[in-house]
Amino acid sequence: MKKRTFLIVFTLLILILVPVSSASLRTSSASYSRFALGLNLGTNTGLGFQVRANRDFDIIGNLGLNNFGVKHLAFDVAANYKIGEFNIDRADFDVTMGLGANVGIPLDNDHGVNFSVLVPFGIVYHFTEVPIDMYVRLAPGVRIFNEGEIDISVGFSGFIGALWRFD
């Protein structure tokens, strides 16, 4: 429990300090800035990140703790594409889809490494007043290694998060 508390406090501290180096609060620079860092909550809870190549393609990822089953330090990364957009009233949302992988390293010596291939689907909202993106992401996948043993099975992950955009 102390490790999780430390991780949450550390992440919140980063979220407070990152605005100092953030992009200007003008919509144009914030919404198109290349890097984002934030908090990711869900199957894998921890520090979320994004590196944007252009408006329709980015690399997303998360480093944190697996919340279900055996405790693992989990890292996932995916190439993410914007496949659509919609709006509700004046709020604009992007729809994304990607392909990536998840690696789980056990926090004890009694269990082996996990490895899965993920296909994340997400909805992203870009705030216009501040350089923050909020998202919901569901990631069905295929687990290839479970605790160090070959075990082909279908899995599912879910995430909610917020990323602070900065240059």
Find the mean pLDDT for residues 19-45: 67
How high is the pLDDT of residue 2?
A: 59
* Percent of the chain that is helix, strand, coil (3-state, to 5): 15, 65, 20
Give strand pairing partners of 52.
58
Listing DSSP states for 117-167 in one string gives: EE--EEEEEE-SSSSEEEEEEEEEEEEEEETTEEEEEEEEEEEEEEEEEE-
Find the mean pLDDT for residues 18-35: 52
Find the mean pLDDT for residues 5-18: 56
Portion of the chain with pLDDT greater than 70, in percent: 79
How high is the pLDDT of residue 22?
A: 44
Alpha carbon separation from 25 to 35, 45, 59 (Å, rounded):
15, 28, 23
pLDDT in tens, 111-156: 788 899 999 999 999 888 888 999 999 999 999 988 777 888 898 8
In the structure, what pLDDT confidence band is assigned to residue 72 with cuts at 50, 70 and 90? confident
Under a CB-based contact definition with an 8 Å cutoff, are residues 46 and 64 in contact? Answer: yes
Query: Which is more confidently placed, 70 or 27?
Result: 70
Alpha carbon separation from 24 to 30, 53, 77, 142, 165 (Å, rounded):
6, 19, 27, 40, 10
Does the pLDDT value for residue 3 go beyond 70? no
In the structure, what pLDDT confidence band is assigned to residue 8 with cuts at 50, 70 and 90? low
Q: Nearest CA to 117 among 135, 96, 99? A: 99
How high is the pLDDT of residue 21?
A: 43
Domains by residue range for the chain, with CATH: 2-166 (2.40.160)
Portion of the chain with pLDDT greater than 90, in percent: 43
Q: Is 150 exposed, middle or buried (0-12, 13-18, 19+ CB in 10 A)?
A: exposed
Find the mean pLDDT for residues 61-90: 87
Give the CA-trace dihedral at 46, 52, 57, 61, to 10 degrees: -20
Q: Give the max Cα distance, the chain.
A: 52
